Structure 1
């Protein structure tokens, strides 16, 4: 029997603050058509150049082989839109951001936490250029800094807490302006890093370590033992430094953060749900990234481990520290981790 997409139907309050504009479904409409009886897997990229449907195709094929289900991959425009799709029965399962976990309580379940080379934790970094006069975070007062998307846990929210802990007045950022420095959001981690390199007005950039560590010499991370122990990025830190990817100077590393989850619609009660979720948790690196996949289309994660909402308490702590709720985020400029 064909599924009915209930575009805009919602069982809880809209995610947007009163000043944020129309409800998501009215702004974005249905995120895509779907085949009868297919499992609707909604995706959203974290990096500018990502062809996320191409990246997830090996996972789709693995899930179909393991379960016999027909899996449809649907690219969303933002993570707010992705969570809206779970709430309004436009998706059964989704690639979501860590920030979405507390917001999805009541209509979206955590299936598992994505891992990279065995690591379930990742980190934010704040970096500058080697020729700048910035030696520590306090030097950023009265300067211009770029961050990731407003909703990004590692690109914006965690770094904002880091700035506050360094004694800088962050004002209402990211739901408004900071007071002690100018903070500019970027659409994604890569763009934040590139703006630091290409815009002389910008003296520092916040990103997830996966976007910065390849251009930061490895020894600069040695003062951060948790990063050395837990980060999948440590072993190859500095490995991309060349004329096209200039060296960056590390200023600070965040506390460990839980990696992004896979979430499912709570009311998804089709028979294939248990099989899909079991196959996801059983997937090996070879299942997710087969040998014949072009390296430009490799997934950033190598496995999915069992997790629940309690594992994302550090994300809720960050939101609480900043006085934010998920509905404070408008649907533009959002990304994954």
Structure 2
């Protein structure tokens, strides 16, 4: 399991603006749709985090929109962000009122956005990061990944990159200046959770994938979780469906429990209706689609009240990697 040390004496680095996936290039107005006038008390925009490339996230989130609009006199517009960083940029530039974000944004955006609540997936307010390989890869433990190619999530993804980097580091691999730079002992390829898993399965040059458990737990036989992580067995919403996918993957590592992603609200959103919107989100009980819906269901069942303090484990991950997010928060 990942050991999240809180070593605040370490030299800290800051993610720099760049043309890479973490940089703010492409976050100008053209990246997000026109959100309309933010002065209107009945029109609000929610920015959505692009965690999985194969999901129509606007359709996926429609039950939450329908619930908010049924409880409060507002019209909710959904925008898919171009990157993890773009969710915070939309909040920072006052172009969105609400944000579906990665857990890292609760730390990175603490000066521009408030945590409305922590999302719960069928009773579980915590989730896990997995590192997997192909069963015939010859990779038996994390240290075997030295000199190999690892397919990872986006550079700001907690379960797809940040936590796995600490797991690899604690296994003795030199992670260098990753994730804003290159690791020394292995090559990291960044994309999203779905793509990372697909690259592992389809590209023989990729030795392992680092993803959220929601992406690859179904590929791992239950007995491997039973042997490796009691926390996963007891806490993970993904354990029930473990081993049900056709393509089997071998489990190399499971993280400690992580707080699930928050829904955040822009701190300077000063409108009386904000309280009603937040209350509606926290009171939502049925976020399922109609029976004729054929797309991906919303991955969380409800939202419980939360705060930035819930994401202190993520701060410890950033501290261990020596990272700050001043340039995007």
**Alignment TM-score, normalising by the size of structure 1:** 0.87
Instruction: Give the alignment's Cα RMSD to 1 decimal.
Output: 2.1
Q: Which residue of 2 aligns with 1:34?
A: 35
State which of 236, 239, 243 in structure 1 corresponds to 2:241. 236
CA distance, structure 2, for counterparts of residue 118 and residue 302 of structure 1 = 8
Q: Residue 296 of structure 1 aligns to a residue in which SS?
A: coil
| CA deviation after TM superposition for structure 1 residue 326, in Å | 2.1
CA distance, structure 2, for counterparts of residue 73 and residue 182 of structure 1 = 35
State which of 158, 162, 168 in structure 2 corresponds to 1:157. 162
Deviations 1:214-272 (A, max 9, x none): 1111111012000011100001101122xxxx110001100111110000011112121
Q: Residue 235 of structure 1 aligns to a residue in which SS?
A: helix
For the pair 1:257 / 2:261, whether they are aligned, the reply is: no
| CA deviation after TM superposition for structure 1 residue 293, in Å | 5.6
Q: Residue 49 of structure 1 aligns to a residue in which SS?
A: coil
For the pair 1:81 / 2:82, whether they are aligned, the reply is: no
| CA deviation after TM superposition for structure 1 residue 119, in Å | 0.4
Q: Which residue of 1 aligns with 2:202?
A: 198
Question: Measured at CA, do residues 263 and 325 of structure 1 come closer, stay the same or move farther in structure 2, by a change above 3 Å?
Answer: same
Q: Residue 99 of structure 1 aligns to a residue in which SS?
A: helix
Question: Measured at CA, do residues 264 and 240 of structure 1 come closer, stay the same or move farther in structure 2, by a change above 3 Å?
Answer: same
CA distance, structure 2, for counterparts of residue 26 and residue 142 of structure 1 = 32
State which of 65, 68, 74 in structure 1 corresponds to 2:73. 68
CA distance, structure 1, for counterparts of residue 261 and residue 283 of structure 2 = 17
| CA deviation after TM superposition for structure 1 residue 127, in Å | 0.6
Mind listing any 5+ residue stretches in structure 2 that lack a counterpart? Answer: 1-13
Please list every run of at least 4 consecutive aligned residues from structure 1 whose deviation after the TM superposition is greater than 6 angstroms.
Answer: none
Deviations 1:87-135 (A, max 9, x none): 1111111111111111212221000011100101000000111111111
Maintained 8 Å contact 1:123/1:256:
yes
Mind listing any 5+ residue stretches in structure 1 that lack a counterpart? Answer: 1-14, 331-337
Maintained 8 Å contact 1:175/1:329:
no
Q: Residue 242 of structure 2 aligns to a residue in which SS?
A: coil
Q: Which residue of 1 aligns with 2:219?
A: 215
Maintained 8 Å contact 2:49/2:102:
no
**Alignment TM-score, normalising by the size of structure 2:** 0.89
Q: Residue 240 of structure 2 aligns to a residue in which SS?
A: coil
| CA deviation after TM superposition for structure 1 residue 63, in Å | 0.6
Maintained 8 Å contact 2:47/2:87:
yes
Aligned length, in residue pairs: 309
